[in-house]
Chain A
Amino acid sequence: MPAYLVSRFLNALWVLFGVTTLVFFLIHWVPGDPVAVMLGESASAADTEALRHALGLDRPLLEQWAGFLTGALSLDLGSSLYYQQPVFALVFTRLGATLQLSALAFLVALLVALPLGLLAAARKGSHWDSTAMGFSLLGISIPNFWLGPLLVMVFSLGLGWFPVSGRESALSVVLPAITLGTGLAAVLSRMVRSSLLEVLGEDFVRTARAKGLAARQVLVRHAMRNAWLPVLTLLGMQLGALLGGAVVTEMVFNWPGVGALLVESIQRRDYPVVQGCVLMISLSYVVINLLTDLLYVKADPRIRLGQA
Chain B
Amino acid sequence: MVRRLAILVLLAWTLVALGGRWLPLHPDRMALPHILEAPDSAHWMGADDLGRPVLDRLLVGAGVSFRVSVLVVSLSLWFGVLIGSLAAWYGGRAERLLVLVMDVFMAFPGILLAIALAGLLGPGIDNLVFALTLVGWVGYARLARAQVLSVRQREHVQAAQALGTPSWRIIWRHLLPLISAPLVVEATFGVAAVVIAESGLSFLGLGVQPPDASWGSMIRDGVRYMLVAPHLVLAPGIALMLVVLSVNLLGDQLRDWLDVRSGLREQGRER
Contact = CB atoms under 8 A, between A and B. Distances in A.
Contacts of B111: 241, 244-245, 247-248
Contact of A289 (B107, B112, B244): B107
A123 to B, nearest CB: 19
Interface stretch (B12-20, B26-34, B155-163, B222-230): B222-230
Given A141-B241, A143-B240, A247-B112, A149 B223 contact: yes
A133 B265 CA distance: 19
B256 interface: no
A103 interface: no
A19 B108 contact: yes
B195 to A, nearest CB: 9
Contact of B108 (A31, A267, A285): A285
Contact of B109 (A15, A27, A269, A281): A281
Interface string B215-237: 01001101100110010010001
A132 to B, nearest CB: 14
Contact of B200 (A22, A26, A145, A281): A145
Nearest to A237: B106
Contacts of B252: 137
B219 A140 contact: no
A19 B66 CA distance: 30
B115 interface: yes
* Size bracket, chain A contacts: 35 or more
A94 B138 CA distance: 30
A204 interface: no
A308 interface: yes
B115 A247 contact: yes
B124 interface: no
Contact of B107 (A30, A138, A149, A282): A282
The winner among B107, B222, B226, B227 for most chain A CB atoms within 10 A is: B107
Contact of A266 (B115, B233, B262): B115
A256 interface: no
Nearest to B242: A141
A11 interface: yes
A262 interface: yes
Given A143-B196, A266-B119, A286 B107 contact: yes
A267 B109 contact: no
B116 A251 contact: no
Interface string B91-120: 000000000110110111111110111011
A266 B271 contact: no
B264 interface: yes
A15 B119 contact: no
A116 interface: no
Contact residues of A: prevailing secondary structure: helix
B48 to A, nearest CB: 15
Interface string B235-271: 0010011001100110010000000001111011001
A95 interface: no
Given A141-B248, A233-B271, A149 B115 contact: no
Contact of A278 (B110, B112, B216): B112
Interface in B123-143: none
Contacts of B203: 145, 248, 251
Nearest to A30: B120
Contacts of A23: 113, 116
A32 B112 CA distance: 20
Interface stretch (A62-70, A71-79, A190-198): A190-198
Nearest to A183: B196
A152 B119 contact: no
A166 interface: no
A32 B122 contact: yes
B267 A11 contact: no
Interface of A: 11, 14-15, 18-19, 22-23, 26-27, 30-32, 137-138, 140-143, 145-146, 149-150, 152-153, 157, 191, 194-195, 198, 229-231, 233-234, 237, 240-241, 243-245, 247-248, 251, 262-263, 266-267, 269, 274, 278, 281-282, 285-286, 289, 296, 303, 308
27 contacts: A14-B100, A15-B107, A15-B108, A19-B107, A32-B122, A137-B249, A145-B203, A145-B220, A149-B237, A153-B230, A198-B265, A230-B264, A230-B265, A231-B264, A233-B268, A233-B271, A234-B263, A247-B111, A248-B111, A263-B115, A266-B119, A267-B205, A278-B116, A281-B112, A285-B109, A286-B107, A296-B271
